[in-house]
Amino acid sequence: MSKGFGERLLWDIAIDQAQEADDGPKSEDAALFFIGSKNSGKTSIILRFLDRDEAPKPTVALEYTFGRRAKGHNIAKDVGHIWELGGGTWLSKLMEVPLNPDTIQHTTLAIVVDLSKPSEIWFTLETLLAAAKSRIESILTEMKQEQPGLKDKLHKKAWERVGEEHSDKTMIDPFLIPLIIIGGKYDVFQDFDSEKRKVICKTLRFIAHTNGATLQFFGLKQEQLVMRMRGLISHHLFGTTMGKSLQVDHNKPLLVAAGHDSLQQIGTPPLSDKDIGRVHAKNPMQLWKHAFTGFFPQDDISNPALVDDPAKDPQYQEAAIDSLRAQKDEELERYRRLCERRSKEAQRANTQTVY
């Protein structure tokens, strides 16, 4: 087929576009990193998203899986990387594996809190948010020589997620990477006293809003919540369109996209009249902390002793290794008793010595 001057075949245009794609920046596979309360439902969320019909097992340390999504009618598929950190708050050091210089620009952080245990919610969020921010700052410091403008780039993207002209701009400090706060075990939470639900919902909305995060509740027994969560994960892993529904009624499962809430709608912290005059808070976050922890005193869940020992988990049984472990435990116990006996003998000898 001949073509006149100024005419271009479809094939020519396709070649040009392919060359432009080769010259441009390469797209990276997106990743989603789940952290949060122990037994809050992280594994269940991942399994339902991947459509795996299996019972969730306790997560030991850090686990990895992935999901695939077909690219239109092509054979090729997008890959979404999924990481999950077990152990609640005390293994936060392992954030260094999924969050690193190679992944920082295409990773979303999802913090899951257990709505059925309000005595752990503030501690969990405060601890994990601080650990994640510290890790991100370490990465930016490490990359400062190679990419000096990276922090400004992440900050600009963060404000694009929230809305650069948001009315609460002076009160918002957006997280530098996409952040999701998930309230797990809504099936239990929905039976709480109305006032308790109201306090928890308002507090989570405040924390999410001031960090530029998306907030969403999840429960296994409600298919609508499962579908919403699958849509949210797909949006962050594969760039699919996310619904713009907004649900802020504490009598219903919350659904608030980043930047779609406001401090005016959230309202004031749940403080009593006598507390309002005597609370000395340096910033609004401390005021909300005082209000929430006053209503729900927090448990310290950072103690490693509270975490299940994976060596005793039946799913990790190995006869030869277990036998050797038992032998070493016996040797250790004999050595402990020997040291204790020698210590007592030394004490008696010192007591009987005449100077």
Co-location of 56 and 162 in the same domain? yes
Co-location of 335 and 212 in the same domain? no
Co-location of 147 and 227 in the same domain? yes
Which of 214, 224, 217, 187 minimizes the C-alpha distance to 201? Answer: 217
Q: Find tokens 């009315």 and name the residue.
A: 167
SS3 216: strand
Q: Any idea what the Cα angle at residue 156 is, between residues 152 and 159, rounded to 5°?
A: 140
Instruction: Please report the beta strands in the chain, taking only residues with DSSP state E, as ranges in sequence order.
Output: 31-36, 62-70, 77-85, 107-114, 179-184, 214-217, 255-256
Asked if residue 133 lies in contact with residue 104, where contact means CB atoms within 8 angstroms, the answer is: no
Which of 123, 115, 136, 182 minimizes the C-alpha distance to 303? Answer: 123
121 or 345: which leads in pLDDT: 121
What average pLDDT does this structure show over 257-264? 95
Co-location of 217 and 286 in the same domain? yes
Domain for residue 191, yes or no? yes
pLDDT at position 254 is 97
The rounded distance, in Å, linking the Cα atoms of 50 and 60 is 19
Co-location of 212 and 321 in the same domain? no
Q: How far is CA 104 from CA 14, 237, 332, in A?
A: 32, 14, 44
CA 177 to chain centre: 11
Asked if residue 296 lies in contact with residue 118, where contact means CB atoms within 8 angstroms, the answer is: yes
What is the per-residue pLDDT across 213-227, written as a single tens digit (0 to 9) for each? 999 999 999 999 999
Token couple for 249: 């009624």
> How many domains is the chain built from?
2
Average pLDDT across the chain, whole number: 83
Co-location of 105 and 185 in the same domain? yes
Co-location of 215 and 103 in the same domain? yes
Among 73-77, 141-145, 250-254, where is mean pLDDT lowest? 73-77
Co-location of 101 and 160 in the same domain? yes
Asked if residue 197 lies in contact with residue 250, where contact means CB atoms within 8 angstroms, the answer is: yes
Domain for residue 221, yes or no? yes
Domain for residue 309, yes or no? no
What is the per-residue pLDDT across 268-286, written as a single tens digit (0 to 9) for each? 998 865 666 566 667 899 9
Domain for residue 354, yes or no? no
CA 278 to chain centre: 34
Asked if residue 292 lies in contact with residue 274, where contact means CB atoms within 8 angstroms, the answer is: no
Co-location of 195 and 88 in the same domain? yes
What range does the domain containing 123 cover?
27-295
Co-location of 108 and 237 in the same domain? yes
Co-location of 204 and 336 in the same domain? no
pTM, two decimals, is: 0.77
Co-location of 49 and 167 in the same domain? yes
Confidence at 91, pLDDT banded by 50, 70, 90: confident
Q: Provide the CATH number for the domain around residue 60.
A: 3.40.50.300
Q: Side chain identity at 142, as an amino acid letter?
A: E
Domain for residue 45, yes or no? yes
